[in-house]
Structure 1
Amino acid sequence: MHIQNDTTALVTGAGSGIGRALALALADRGARVICADLTAARGEQTAGAIRARSGRAEAIALDVSCLDSWTTACGHIRSTIGWVDIICNNAGTTCGKSGVGEIAFADWDRLISTNLSGVLYGSRLFLSDLYRGHGPGHILNTVSICGVVTGSGSGAYIASKFGALGLSEALYFDTLDSEVSVSVLCPGFVKTGLATQAPRGNECGEPVPRTNHAAIDNGMDPAALAAMAVRGIENEQFYLMSHPEYAAVVRSRHRQIEQALTSAERGDGRQDDVRVLAAGWAQGDMHG
């Protein structure tokens, strides 16, 4: 997909971190950017920075976890701009570490509604309300390396990100025969406030403990990640991986799954038609 002066992009969570960097990078490529955040004032901070660089941008308020908020935002965009060519479902949240047995139900509900339902709402409404078949379109979903690998103490966050990755893969296959392409951005640690600050929004609770020193000291520059993501959008690449140090961990996890399947025995002499549940993979339709 070629980003040009008549391209309009909607970026959620644009007020800070990866979202801000994505908005700036898209504007630098010539796109008009709608900077969405929980409050229009936060989005306006990024929109103002874009305009200061001679770019085009405006801000809207959007709570990605709330379908009514999405409906309102879509109506505003349709009436003032008309359509969106690129949507970056980037807004996300986290919570303090805890084992699955100690996950606060309020934290679970907030992470699932923001990190998973927010991606569904944005993707669904882009396809039905915002894109409207206006030439090539693209959906970028910010997931996490935690949508690919697992560890202890982050079960709620991992579940939300695994769900977002699975939804994005299904979306990829759903849109194969259309002009819409899909990408998933799966970074490791990035230098954003997410690792050290309380999540924003209703019922935020207490601040997340400032103990994530790896994120602070070794995190990737959001601008470098955004530049990589924009290249991925233009190349219509699905998996956008930024941290190669996780390759061995991913291989180990997938090897365990493959070995378990290889040694499995059904015992009834029958076989599933894998094309029913995994048609895209079975037909080799995934192009990385």
Structure 2
Amino acid sequence: MVTLSDSVVVVTGAASGMGRSMAHEFADAGAAVAVVDIDADGAASVADAIGSAGGEAIAVDGDVTDTESVERIVDLTVDEYGTIDVLCNNAGVLDDFAPVGETTDDLWNGILDVNLTGPFYLTRAALPALRDGSDEGVVINTASVAGKVAGGGGAAYTTSKHGLIGFTKQLAHDYGPEIRANAVCPGAVETGMTEEMIEDLEAMTADTPAGRYADPEEIASVVAFLASDEASFVHGTAVDVDGGWLVD
């Protein structure tokens, strides 16, 4: 297990799925965690569970698509813990694999707002805190295999995740070495968001080298590694955690 003692980590979309696993992984590694989600009760439940296990966490209800809410997320975290060392832009939504001709304006804008504009808003707001210490700040964005190839989502989702990888690279270019920015690209992961697609996940992953879909904890462990000093020379990359989906 990596060590992140004395680190302060913000995880969005942390009430469930990969975000919840990330929050627990960070807390287990010794970090104080701001558990951020638009689902206030869900965020509180995760923070309480971390506290009951001996970890340190606060729950912050917030909407990453709203600039005032984003500022509040940053302010509450800094007020509680003094800084932000690691930002995990994990909140995301799916588009049910809608092709271009079936993508409405509302669907397009809604997907890009959460998956791409949200990480931009929160990263911009957190920059002063991420840059205020002697150690480098870390930003980790949850992209997807759909950020590298077509077929992992619909038109809006695929576009948003391609854009998020580009945002990650530009962030690393603009702010390294003060900030170390990377992305993770999960393949099929069993979460609450994908439970209605479980048969599709099984079919999609049957021919991958792993031969299965991932548990959220398997993504979280890679994210914790990227946040740690063990990944100190990893900058501006998008790490595949996909069971070999992108091999062919």
TM bucket by the smaller chain?
0.7 to 0.9
Contact 2:11–2:34 under 8 Å retained in 1: yes
5+ long unaligned stretches in structure 2: 204-211
Q: Which residue of structure 2 lines up, in the alignment, with residue 51 of structure 1? A: 51
Structure-2 residue corresponding to 1:78: 78
Q: Please tell me whether the aligned partners of residues 112 and 160 of structure 1 are also in contact (alpha carbons under 8 angstroms).
A: yes
Equivalent runs, 1:1-288 vs 2, <5 Å: 3-128=3-128, 130-134=129-133, 135-151=135-151, 154-176=154-176, 178-196=177-195, 210-215=196-201, 218-234=212-228, 235-236=231-232, 237=234, 238-249=237-248
User: 1:243 Cα deviation (Å)?
Assistant: 1.8
Distance 1:141 1:90 in 2: 6
SS at match of 1:245: coil
CA positional deviation for 1:213? 1.6
**Cα distance 1:152–1:75, how it changes in 2: closer, same or farther (>3 A)?**
closer
CA distance in 1, matches of 2:202, 2:124: 34
- What amino acid sits opposite 2:201 in the alignment? A
- Larger deviation, residues 130-139 vs 28-37: 130-139
Structure 2 length-normalised TM: 0.87
1:135-171 Cα shifts (integer Å, max 9, x gaps): 2210000011100011287101101111111111111
SS state at 1:138 partner: strand
Q: Which residue of 1 aligns with 2:207?
A: none
Instruction: Please say if residues 183 and 233 of structure 1, whose CA atoms lie closer than 8 Å, have aligned partners that are also in contact.
Output: no
Measured in 2, the distance between the counterparts of 1:72 and 1:232 equals 26
8 Å Cα contact 1:15-1:42 kept in structure 2: yes
**Divergent runs of 4+, >4 A:** none
Looking at structure 2, the residues matched to 44 and 159 of structure 1 have their Cα atoms a distance apart, in angstroms, of 32
**In the alignment, residue 28 of structure 2 is paired with which amino acid?**
D
Does the 8 Å contact 1:4/1:30 carry over to 2? yes
Q: Please, which runs of 5 or more residues in structure 1 have no aligned partner?
A: 197-209, 250-288
Count of residues paired in the alignment: 233
Of structures 1 and 2, the larger Rg is shown by 1
Which one-letter code corresponds to 1:39 in the other structure? D
User: TM-score scaled by structure 1?
Assistant: 0.76
Does the C-alpha gap of structure 1 residues 151 and 4 become closer, same or farther in structure 2, counting only changes over 3 Å? closer
Q: Distance in 2 between matches of 1:50 and 1:125?
A: 26
Distance 1:161 1:86, change over 3 A: same
3-state DSSP of counterpart to 1:97:
coil
Q: Which amino acid aligns with 1:75?
A: D
Deviation sequence 1:39-86 (CA, Å, 0-9, x none): 332111111111121111110011111112101222222333221100
Structure number with higher relative contact order (C-alpha < 8 Å, ≥ 6 residues apart): 2
CA distance in 2: counterparts of 1:45 and 1:183, whole angstroms: 28
Aligned counterparts of 1:138 and 1:103: Cα–Cα separation in 2:
34
- The answer to whether the 8 A contact 2:137-2:179 is kept is yes
1-side partners of 2:39 and 2:45: how far apart? 10
In structure 2, do the counterparts of structure 1 residues 195 and 141 end up closer, same or farther at CA, with 3 Å as the change threshold?
Answer: same
Q: Which amino acid in structure 2 is aligned with residue 23 of structure 1?
A: A
**In 2: Cα distance, 1:18 partner to 1:152 partner:** 17
Q: Distance in 1 between matches of 2:122 and 2:153?
A: 28
